Amino acid sequence: MKCTRYLFAGGVALAIAAALGLSITTQADPRHPRGVPTYTVDASWPKMPLPSAGQFGTPLVVSTSTGQPKPWSTGEVAGTCVDSRDHVFIVTRGNLVNSPETLDSVPAPPVMEFDPEGNVVNAWGNRDVLPNGLHGCFVDYQDNLWIAGNGDGIVQKYTRTGTLLLQIGTRGVCDNPPTNLCGNSGANPAANQSRTLLNQPANMYIDPNPDPVTGQRGSIYIADGYGNHRVVVFSAAGVYLRQWGGVAATVNFVTDSPGLFASGDGGHPHCVTVGNDGLVYVCDRADDRIQVFTKTGTLQRIIPVVPGTGVTLGIGNAPGLGTAGSAWDLVFTKDPIQRFMIEADGGNEIVHIMDRIGGSILAGFGAPGLQAGQFTFLHSVVLDSKSNLYTGETINGRRIQKFVLADCSKGHGNRGKGNGKGDCED
C-alpha cells in the first residue's frame, strides 16, 4: 500500500512539475539500497529512574504513601537537541495526566540535559519565564540553547545552564492584529507581517555561516508556523532581516501555492534547517511536503513526504487521512554531502530515511504504539556526532527514545558498519 501511494504521488508530481518549472521529486520505494543507514532502538536509554523532587534545585515533595521524594514525570517531550559534547537536551511540557501521575509524581523541570550514557546531568527552567507551550529546541554553534513556544510569541536564547541571553518577540503578544492574541492568523491579511512580533513559533535554526545579505554569522531562521505561516529571519542580535511564505490553499501537495504554507493551525511551517548545500529546508506539515528555499527565500524544490496524510489528496485523489500531516521534522546525515535526510512523520508514526538529492523515501522504521521503537505523536528528530538518533514524542507518547546506527546495508565497502565518523561512507 505504501509503495502504491508513493508511486502515485510521484506520477502526479512529475506531471505538474514541468508546468510549474520546479524541481519535484518522486516517492518511489525501492529495495533497501546500498549505504542507507539502519537504526536499532536502545531501550536502555535514558537511564531510569529519572531524578526525583528535591534534586537539581527542585522543591522537595514527599509521597505520603512511600515516604520518599516523588519522582519526576516529563509530560510531553516537545523538543530534542544535541550540543557539541553529545549531551542531549529536551524541553518538557510537564503536563501530567490526572491521577495517578499528578498524585504519585511531580512535573520534571522544563529543560533536562542528558549525558551520552543517558544520565540526567542538569535540569532547569522557570515556566513563568520560558515560552508558553514549549515546542522546539536547537543548540547553536556556540552551544547556546534556543527554545520556541507554540502557545506564545517568543523565541529565547539561553546558555546551556539556563541564563537568558536574548528574546525575540513579546511574551503573550502575537503578530495577529488588531488584537495581537496568539492563535491561527490564516484568515487575517494583516498578520504574517510584523518585524518584531512572532505568532506561535514552532522551531528555529541558527546559521553558523555568513548571511547572504549582511555577511554576519548567526542569522536566526524561525519557523513561525502555528499562528503565522512564514519563515522569518533575524540577525544574531535579534534584528529583523527578511521573511517569506504566507497562507496557502489546500488539497494538492504540488499546486497548493508553492512557497506558501498550509493555512490551518498546527505548525505550518513546523521545522526549519539549513543543509550543507546552503539551502533552507522547511517542513510544511499539513501539506505533506518539505519546501526548499535559498537563504533569501527563493523556492528551489518541493519534496513530498507521504501525500494523503494531512490536508493533501491521497491515492486516486481521495481525501487524506486528516492527521496533522507527514512533514514534522528533519535532520541530515553527518557525511559531508548529507546524502540522506532523516524525517519524522508523526502522521504515520514512522521515521523516513530519504535521499536528500533525489527526494525519494528509501527506508524507514517505526509503527504506531508505545513499545520501544514504536511512536505515538512522533514530534522531533536529532542526531549526535556519532549518528545516534533521538526522537521526541508529545501528546500520548511523552518520551524520548534513542536509536543507534546499526549498519549501512549489504554490499557496502566497509561491510555495512559505517566508518566511525557518524556516517555510512567508505
- pLDDT of 3 higher than 80: no
Average pLDDT of span 28-40: 71
Query: Per the omega criterion (within 30 degrees of 0), is the bond before 49 cis?
Result: yes
Q: How far apart are CA 57 and CA 422, in angstroms?
A: 36
Of the listed ranges 18-22, 62-66, 353-357, the least confidently predicted one is: 18-22
Q: Kindly report the pTM of this predicted structure.
A: 0.90
* DSSP assignment string, 167-222: EESBTTB-S-TTTT-SS--TT-TT-S--SS--SS--EEEE--SPPTTT--S--EEE
For the chain, first and last CA: distance in Å? Answer: 34
Predicted pLDDT at 67: 96
Predicted pLDDT at 320: 84
3-class secondary-structure state, position 18: helix
Contacts 24+ apart (CB under 8 A), 363-370: 363/32, 363/36, 363/38, 365/39, 365/403, 370/396, 370/397
Q: For 292-331, write each residue's pLDDT tens digit.
A: 999 999 999 999 999 999 999 888 989 889 899 999 999 9
Q: Give bridge partners of residue 303 from the DSSP assignment.
A: 290
CB 60 within 8 A of CB 67: no
Where are the chain's structural domains?
2-407
Count CB atoms within 10 A of the CB of residue 40.
13
Confidence of residue 178 (pLDDT cuts 50, 70, 90): very high
> Distance of alpha carbon 293 from its chain centroid, rounded?
17
- pLDDT of 167 higher than 70: yes
Domain 2-407 is classified in which CATH homologous superfamily? TolB, C-terminal domain (2.120.10.30)
CB 133 within 8 A of CB 152: yes
Q: How far apart are CA 16 and CA 357, in angstroms?
A: 19
Q: For 223-257, write each residue's pLDDT tens digit.
A: 999 999 999 999 999 999 999 999 876 556 555 57
* DSSP assignment string, 114-165: E-TTS-EEEEE--TTTSPSSEEEEEE-TTS-EEEEETTSS-EEEE-TTS-EE
Confidence of residue 410 (pLDDT cuts 50, 70, 90): very low
